[in-house]
Amino acid sequence: MTQIPKTPDPAVAHRHRLLEGMAQAVAAKGYAETTISDIVREASVSRRTFYEYFNTKADCLIALYTAASHNALDVLRNAIDPARPWQAQVETAIHAYLGCLAQNPVLMRTLFIEILGLGAEGLAARRRVNNEIASFMLKVINAEQVGKPGDTALTADMAMTVVGGINELVLQAIEQDSAADVAKLAEPAIRLVKAVTRDVV
């Protein structure tokens, strides 16, 4: 029997539209010039609806940053095949992650550049996401180290070094107006991972 699709939760739908509205408004005007009126117009919702979900436009940008970053992290997770060696898993994951970013250069610029304009709030959001990615890397690479002798596992500091390095490569591409070519950064990013993990066997 064919089931009738469930009606999406209106609250979830409204929040999603607001995040899309924020992305479109910031892409068109930049975060500093974007107003809440711009966001609700792009989202086709009322100003009252905006305040049901966010106190400020900064809150909305952080929510957008978090949602988009988690989407990219899901791409990383879905690219992993535990049956393969961790080296192959990391290479596949990096290609998938950078490919995901390259699919939307405008949103990528918003998330990598505009989030820094929020000061401490933006930096805290960026740190949370970076920690999640570094933790994911630790889990993948160190999975094969369980039960092995010696202190050869990847450390948290080493993982954060890789995450920070890849972020800087992406930022450099954005600043050079090469955001659409971010997928090409996979090769140097993979070399970075191999250099940092050369003693992890």
Going along the chain from its start, the domains and CATH numbers come out as 1-54 (1.10.10.60), 57-196 (1.10.357.10)
Q: What is the pLDDT of residue 2?
A: 34
* Residue 3 clears pLDDT 50, i.e. is over it: no
How far is CA 131 from each of CA 22, 118, 170, rounded to the nearest angstrom? Answer: 25, 19, 17
Distance CA 84, CA 91 (A): 11
Residue pair 109/172 in contact (Cβ under 8 Å)? The answer is no
Write the burial class of residue 191 (CB in 10 Å: 0-12 exposed, 13-18 middle, 19+ buried): exposed
Full-model pTM = 0.81
Confidence of residue 126 (pLDDT cuts 50, 70, 90): very high
Distance CA 76, CA 159 (A): 15
Confidence of residue 152 (pLDDT cuts 50, 70, 90): low
Which of 163 and 154 is assigned the larger pLDDT? 163
Residue pair 31/61 in contact (Cβ under 8 Å)? The answer is yes
Helix (H, G, I), strand (E, B) or coil at 7: coil
How far is CA 87 from each of CA 62, 81, 93, 127, 197, rounded to the nearest angstrom? Answer: 33, 11, 10, 25, 9
- Give the highest mean pLDDT range of 17-31, 40-54, 179-193: 40-54
Q: In the Cβ-directed half-sphere of 193, how many Cα atoms lie within 13 Å?
A: 23
Which of 30 and 44 is assigned the larger pLDDT? 44
Among 13-17, 46-50, 136-140, the range scoring the smallest mean pLDDT is 136-140
Segment 180-188 mean pLDDT: 90
Helix (H, G, I), strand (E, B) or coil at 104: coil
> What is the per-residue pLDDT across 40-65, written as a single tens digit (0 to 9) for each?
999 999 999 999 999 999 999 999 99
> What is the per-residue pLDDT across 51-103, written as a single tens digit (0 to 9) for each?
999 999 999 999 999 998 888 888 888 888 888 888 888 899 899 989 988 88
Q: Which two tokens stand for residue 23?
A: 């992305």
